[in-house]
Amino acid sequence: MLSNLFQEELDIINVGLEGFGSDLNSQDFKVTQVDWRVPNISDETKLLLKQLSFLDEGE
């Protein structure tokens, strides 16, 4: 299955660090870059979000 995959034309999506995408790009693969970063949120905010989960009850 995997060997078949690499014989087809690949549509590659690279999420986050651009280096992985540019390496493939330099080998003539078509790469779509998704600008994504790990959210920069504090431990206090994480706790707040956990406490707010009561709002999702009843869904």
Binding residues (CB under 8 A) for other proteins: these are: 39-41, 44-45, 48-49, 51-52, 54-59
Task: List the structure tokens of 53.
Answer: 């989960």
Of the two residues 28 and 57, which places its CB atom closer to other proteins in the complex?
57
Of the two residues 6 and 54, which places its CB atom closer to other proteins in the complex?
54
CA distances from 30 to 8, 25, 46, 48, 58 (A): 12, 6, 37, 41, 44
Q: Closest distance between other proteins and the C-beta of residue 10, in Å? A: 25
Show the DSSP H helices in 1-59 as ranges: 2-5, 18-26, 43-51
Of the two residues 11 and 57, which places its CB atom closer to other proteins in the complex?
57
